[in-house]
Chain A
């Protein structure tokens, strides 16, 4: 059974870097042709795709977040991570990690973690 679990600070100060990790169990993040994504949901809003990393390390980001977001893969720990630089209150959201066989949809989801940006 594939499980994804997000972890990281629940509170980040404005202008700092948000850092989250997704630990995958029951499946290798280095499995060929798999994609690992980050998605967020602002309070009272819908889902927003942030970006993904391919098993080979190639990354794609939502254009409006491309200059601020970095997704990386750690195959030794079977994890992938998100860093979002220069955060503001507008980055307060529940962040989900997800994964799957395609860049076009998601097969597996984490439970989500709330990150609040506040001084």
Chain B
């Protein structure tokens, strides 16, 4: 059974740059998986950040960017802010109408 992999946790200093990744337990992630990214702060609705690899959702600042790095999808935050502290999930389209979330990365900004 295929699993979408993400780093369980990451830490970045305010103003720093961090890259979160999204991979597959077997195989490589490409744009054909239509990777998307979501920011989820406990008690709030998830927020869509990115879709189709590198398209920012409406209202998302350009310090968030998406890409394919090697065999993984990636979300890069440039100039991290304290408000960016959250859990970040990636989502991959697995085909046949089926999508799969990664386990999420808890980002700490301090």
Contact = CB atoms under 8 A, between A and B. Distances in A.
A107 B98 contact: no
Interface residues on A, range: 20 to 34
A96 B98 contact: no
B64 interface: no
Residue from A46, A63, A100, A111 having most chain B Cβ neighbours under 10 A: A46
Nearest to A98: B46
Contacts of A96: 45-46
A112 B45 contact: yes
Interface string B30-60: 0000101010100011111001100001000
A109 B39 CA distance: 12
Interface in A48-85: 48-49, 52, 60, 62-63
A47 B36 contact: no
A27 interface: no
A119 interface: no
B104 A62 contact: no
B29 interface: no
Interface of A: 39, 46-49, 52, 60, 62-63, 96, 98, 100, 102-112
The 3 closest A-B CB pairs, nearest first, are A60-B97, A105-B36, A104-B34
28 contacts: A46-B101, A46-B103, A47-B101, A49-B100, A60-B98, A96-B46, A100-B48, A103-B93, A103-B97, A104-B36, A104-B51, A104-B52, A104-B91, A105-B34, A105-B36, A105-B51, A105-B52, A105-B91, A105-B93, A106-B36, A106-B38, A106-B46, A106-B91, A107-B51, A108-B48, A109-B45, A111-B45, A112-B45
